Every structure is written in C-alpha cells, then in structure tokens.
A and B are shown apart, each in its own frame.
Chain A
C-alpha cells in the first residue's frame, strides 16, 4: 500500500466523503433538535473504542490514509454506538454546529496530533452534514501548528489556525483558578472534539484528552502544581468546554511512554491505533493504562512510583465528568 500522506490527498478524500451526505439529508438534519450539550452524566458503563490496525504507520513513519480512515472510523463509530463514523458524527453533531477540533501540537512533529487525523475527523463531520466552513482545527499558536506539519487555512474550507493570544477579555473563574479563554472557543464554537495524542507528561503523568484543554486558556503555566490534579478536572468541567464537548479522540499512531510532553524518540513506539469515547475520563483512563503497560514492557516504573500519578483522571471522575474505574469501562477493540 502506498504511503499517502499529502494534504492534497487528505483534502480530496475529505471532499469525497462530504459528497456522500445528500443535500436533502443535510436539510432534514438541520431541522432536528441537536444532541444534548456535553456528557452531562456518564453512562453506567462507558465505551472506549480502540481502533488499531497493522500497517497504519509505514516504515517511513508516514501514515497510510486508508488504514487511518478505517481504524479511526471504526473507533469513532463504536464510541457513539453507531455502525459508521459518519453516522456517529450525525448522532453527536448537527449541521448547524460550529465544531472545534482541538489538537495538541506542543511537542512539535513526532509528538503532536497528526494533521491527517484531525482532517479525517473533519472529513467525517463533513460527510455527516457539517459544512467545512463550520469546522475549525485549532491549537495554541500558528507556529506550533506549522511545526507539527499543519497547513494553516483561514479562507476556505476547514479552517486551521492558532489562537495566537486571541483570548476573550472576560476573566472566567473555574474551580481553583481563573482564566481568559480562547475567544473563538468562547464565542463561536458550539461543539468540541478533543483530539490529543497518547503521551506521557513529566508533571501530570499523562497528557491525553482532558489535559489537552490547557491549550485554550491564557495561563496554562499557572496550572501545573500538584501534578495538575487540582486543575484539569475543573477546567474540563467549565461550561465553556463541558457543555460543548461531544467526542474525545486520542491519536496513538505513534505514542510516547516517557519523557513527555516534549518529544523523546527513545520512548516512542508505534501503538498503531486510536482511542475514541464520548466519556473524556474513561478514554484518559484507558490511555493511561496503555502508557503504563508500555512502561512496564520497557522496564520503566509505574507513573505513581515516579511521583507522577495522573491524579486528574480520578479527580475528574469524582467531579462527575466520567468514569475512571477500568473495571467499569467497556474497552472495545474494533
């Protein structure tokens, strides 16, 4: 299978996928009531779908887009309890939504959400009837996005851009902190996808879908005390995020079990898959376990033994944001 990695191919696939949703379907969907905002209460047994495929990561390190579509699509579909990713997106989003796909590009190329993954999610959304112009892929800065391989776009189609210090002027109190939020998030977006990566974090233990939201506030530097545990849950619970959050995806094509959040090739490995769930706590709990398993395989101690227990995951569960207990999570290989 050829390694199709170019953005042009991604966009072409995206357009084809979008074409599969008929105008009639879109018009009908526009009249339907939207999904309830946010995962108000987690189901008793949340699903975390794990889509892994052989051949996802090519020997060159590039991603096979067809395999990506299959693996990511299967995970997204199962996370929403639907047969296909497009049906899942139809269930979770409506055509009138303005959907933000928050990626994590802090660590640069090699330890950031891959552009192909974010754009494939955008393609699923378009196929489900969300116009491209209403889909934003964004992170903290243009610089970090470019460094991670994104091509910025602000004119036509799916917008790809950095916050670049464009924060809403209002100071929002949330839990133990107060922040100014990304202006677009606060004022334009109606629905959110957290699309993080599967990686270790030197302070928080793991940086997955919940910690990804540190990238939407003006003061992430103030939120790292005590392994980030007092802050992450309250940030995710903040209505600006919580009431819009519909889907959580972890890009685990290449994962990193130690040395994060920066890139540490020595500790990276091709996990070759994606996690997806509507429950941000459950997907992070499973992601954390994958990191722990890998650490054990390569002879590293558990995160807790290094004083890096990701307490924010259990904390989020206590706050009612989802399920952290692995025995109560349905982990499904798809």
Chain B
C-alpha cells in the first residue's frame, strides 16, 4: 500500500489482454463486439507517431524567446528548447509549442481495489480501473515502478486509449473509479483532466495517486474535475526529500495546503524508510503539519518500505517503527492514522474516533467488514469524513 507496483512490462501485457479484451478503441463501436486490435493500425480510432507517441498540445506552458518554452505543469518549470523534453521526458517542444506525448497512451492498465492506492475513505471495497502513462517528474531512489516511471514514452509499450475508452472500460468492469496512478499522473495531467470530464458525464469518478509535485494552476484545474487526491509525501526533512527525490519538499506541502483550500478529498501516504526518514521527530513533524494545515481528519498512512530500485541496501521497515509513528501521529491529534504493507495489522482498519470501535475492518487490500451507516458510526453516530456513496 505504499506506492503501488505496476508489475512491469510482462505484467502490463497480461493485464492489458485481460483488461481490454473486447474493448474497442473507437468510441462509436460496440464494446462487446470488438476484440482488441492494433490501435495504431490504419482506420483505428487514434493514430500515433513512431514509438507510440501521441503529441497533443499541452495545456500549461508559456512561450519564451528564441523558440524556448517553459512548462507549467510541475514546480520544476522546465525551460525546454526546440526538440527537447522536460525532466519528465513526456513533454516536448515542437516549433516553440509544448506537447504532451502520452495523452491517450497508457502503458499500464489494471483493475485494483481502491484500498491498494491506498484510499481508505473513498468507496471502501470498490474497484478502480487504474492506469498510467510513462514518465515521472521526480526520481525517488526507491521507485517501485521505475521501469515505466523513469522511462521515456517510446521506451515502454503502450496502447491508444482515449478518455472515452477509459471511462467505458471502467463501466464495463463495474469500476466506479478511474485511478491515475503507478507512475506520476501530474505528467499526464491533460489526460487525467479529460478522463475526469468524460467520467463525470457517466458517473465514473477519477482519483489521482500522486507525488503532489504540481503547480497551482494545473492543480486548480484538476481539482475541479477529480474526486480525490492522494499525496505521497515521501519525507518531512527538506534535505532528505531533495536527496531522495530530486525535488523540493516545500512544493508538496503547498499542494497539500491548496488541496485543503479547495476542499478536494485528500489522503496522505508517508513511506517510512529505515534510517532515512523514520525518526520520531519526523513522524511528529509530519503529524503536526497535517493536523494544523491539512486538517486532523485527513487520513495519514504510514507505509512499510521494501527494497527497490536504487535502495536495495536497506531492510524492510520494522513494524515497530511504523507502530511508533502511528502512536506519535495519534498523540498529536490525528484521527485516522493507518499502517500500510502490514497485512492483518489492526492499523489497517478504520476506528471511530468517537467510541473507538472498528468501523471498517481491512485485511490487506480487502475490506472484511464495513459497519459505516450513511457515513457515520452506527454506535455513536460520529460522522466519518470521506466519500462513501
């Protein structure tokens, strides 16, 4: 339940086959009748360039002298010369205009429980059609999905899937949610936005699982359309954050403040990495920040690290370390503090802050029992915040 793994290329292909069998890519055709076809074949709904690129005008950028552009999606604000790309590898300057190359080109697709994201206060027990495109604007040393997140779009297989296709597939799969996840949805914000708009029309909600490294304007535009935003906070020490991700912590904190101002449902994940960001002081710092600036009712998930990517030299996080962090956060006044990647631990379940009873009992990514009644505790009637219907 830390940053969820997508499973790599082979898994992608398997999932793709499983998820998309019978899915037509042309919106006007029957979903039931058509087998999965080569989406780039002549006559298909969407054509792309060599390498599976689908250059689509970017929504947030400004032009600069000499044909340069400045990307306006994330705080990196990459200055990009002609034919070059920004740090994420997905946005390219073509003749002085910025294009996203990954719109409608998912490289990973699966139906997951929403608890895997993790969202614990969004339609518990439901499924989310989950997708990603290539690319990320950070480079976390423990990236679980580096084979797609740290790759350029032409380096991973992808298929053509319009926002309408995505929403229709979610409906067919009985998923009330589309989750933009696995890599970093901020880098494919235009696609997220278009999926969210298409989904709203037919009652499919869109949620983002993100590092929160996003500029104010795209965030505002996204918040108008999406249902919920999960932020991977990564750490609470600016030096660690910089070393670990290459980014600046303050921008993520700004995003969390803005999410609160906009009233977008927000959950926060803090991946606890042994010896790196696991001190009591950091747990206390992040807890106070969430309490004071995002709200004490905001779910905070302390999740367990497992060795991955460039952090293969560390052990998995001791459960005791996670429990200590949870104790600190609850002592600081947070109402909903969870443990992740510890299947069967009581810290996976939702407890009523009013009477202390278990409201939603979880085992791993499964909901074993949900006692909520109309978004409230059935025993003491305490209202529990979240998206329940």
Residues of A that sit less than 8 Å from B by CB: 106-108, 143, 165, 167, 171, 173, 177-178, 202-203, 218-219, 221-222, 224-225, 259-264
Q: Is the CB of A225 within 8 A of B246?
A: yes
Q: Is the CB of B84 within 8 A of A261?
A: yes
Does any Cβ of A come within 8 Å of B199's Cβ? Answer: no
| Apart from A222-B89, A263-B82, 14 more pairs, CB < 8 Å | A106-B84, A143-B50, A165-B154, A177-B139, A218-B151, A219-B150, A219-B152, A221-B89, A221-B152, A222-B87, A222-B150, A224-B87, A225-B246, A264-B66
CB pairs A–B below 8 angstroms (12 shown): A165-B154, A167-B155, A171-B310, A177-B139, A178-B309, A219-B151, A221-B85, A222-B139, A225-B87, A260-B81, A262-B83, A263-B82
Nearest opposing residue in chain B for A222, CB measure? B139
Residues of B that sit less than 8 Å from A by CB: 50-51, 66-68, 78-79, 81-89, 139, 146, 150-152, 154-155, 246, 309-310
Nearest opposing residue in chain A for B78, CB measure? A224
Supposing A165-B154, A218-B152 touch, asked if A262 and B51 sit within 8 A by C-beta, the answer is no
Q: How far is the CB of B26 from chain A (nearest CB, A)?
A: 28
Which of B68, B151, B152, B155 is in CB contact (< 8 Å) with A202?
B68
CA of A95 to CA of B243, assembled, Å: 45
Supposing A202-B68, A221-B89, A222-B139 touch, asked if A262 and B155 sit within 8 A by C-beta, the answer is no
A-B CB proximity, top 9 nearest: A262-B82, A221-B89, A262-B81, A165-B155, A202-B81, A221-B85, A259-B66, A178-B310, A221-B87
Most buried by A among B66, B68, B309: B66
Q: How far is the CB of A149 from chain B (nearest CB, A)?
A: 16
By a CB distance below 8 angstroms, the chain B residues around A173 are 310
CA of A248 to CA of B386, assembled, Å: 61
Most buried by A among B51, B81, B86, B146: B81
Nearest opposing residue in chain A for B85, CB measure? A221
CA of A295 to CA of B30, assembled, Å: 62
By a CB distance below 8 angstroms, the chain A residues around B83 are 106-108, 262
CA of A263 to CA of B95, assembled, Å: 11
Nearest opposing residue in chain A for B91, CB measure? A221
CA of A264 to CA of B68, assembled, Å: 11
Q: How far is the CB of B136 from chain A (nearest CB, A)?
A: 9
Q: How far is the CB of A176 from chain B (nearest CB, A)?
A: 9
By a CB distance below 8 angstroms, the chain B residues around A106 are 83-84
CA of A143 to CA of B154, assembled, Å: 13
Q: How far is the CB of B153 from chain A (nearest CB, A)?
A: 10
By a CB distance below 8 angstroms, the chain A residues around B85 are 221
Nearest opposing residue in chain B for A143, CB measure? B50
CA of A225 to CA of B77, assembled, Å: 11
Most buried by B among A108, A143, A221, A264: A221
CA of A260 to CA of B146, assembled, Å: 30
By a CB distance below 8 angstroms, the chain A residues around B66 are 259, 264
Which of A203, A218, A224, A263 is in CB contact (< 8 Å) with B155?
A218
By a CB distance below 8 angstroms, the chain B residues around A171 are 146, 309-310
By a CB distance below 8 angstroms, the chain A residues around B309 are 171, 178
CA of A129 to CA of B203, assembled, Å: 71
Supposing A173-B310, A218-B155 touch, asked if A203 and B89 sit within 8 A by C-beta, the answer is no
Q: Is the CB of A219 within 8 A of B89?
A: yes
By a CB distance below 8 angstroms, the chain A residues around B89 are 219, 221-222
Which of A107, A165, A203, A261 is in CB contact (< 8 Å) with B79?
A203
CA of A106 to CA of B68, assembled, Å: 15
Q: Is the CB of A221 within 8 A of B82?
A: no
Q: How far is the CB of B380 from chain A (nearest CB, A)?
A: 51
By a CB distance below 8 angstroms, the chain A residues around B51 are 165
By a CB distance below 8 angstroms, the chain A residues around B86 are 221
Q: How far is the CB of A28 from chain B (nearest CB, A)?
A: 44
Q: How far is the CB of A179 from chain B (nearest CB, A)?
A: 9
Q: How far is the CB of B213 from chain A (nearest CB, A)?
A: 14
CA of A143 to CA of B51, assembled, Å: 11
Nearest opposing residue in chain B for A259, CB measure? B66
By a CB distance below 8 angstroms, the chain B residues around A178 are 309-310
Q: How far is the CB of B280 from chain A (nearest CB, A)?
A: 30
CA of A263 to CA of B93, assembled, Å: 13
CA of A117 to CA of B89, assembled, Å: 30
Q: Is the CB of A202 within 8 A of B310?
A: no
Q: How far is the CB of B141 from chain A (nearest CB, A)?
A: 9
CA of A259 to CA of B155, assembled, Å: 29
CA of A221 to CA of B136, assembled, Å: 10
Nearest opposing residue in chain B for A219, CB measure? B150
By a CB distance below 8 angstroms, the chain A residues around B152 are 165, 218-219, 221
By a CB distance below 8 angstroms, the chain B residues around A264 are 66
Q: How far is the CB of B53 from chain A (nearest CB, A)?
A: 11
Q: How far is the CB of A309 from chain B (nearest CB, A)?
A: 16
Q: How far is the CB of A306 from chain B (nearest CB, A)?
A: 12
By a CB distance below 8 angstroms, the chain B residues around A167 are 155
CA of A203 to CA of B154, assembled, Å: 24
Nearest opposing residue in chain B for A169, CB measure? B147
Supposing A143-B50, A165-B51, A219-B89 touch, asked if A202 and B79 sit within 8 A by C-beta, the answer is yes
Q: Is the CB of B84 within 8 A of A262?
A: yes
Nearest opposing residue in chain A for B89, CB measure? A221
Q: How far is the CB of A199 from chain B (nearest CB, A)?
A: 11
Q: How far is the CB of B52 from chain A (nearest CB, A)?
A: 11
By a CB distance below 8 angstroms, the chain A residues around B246 are 222, 225
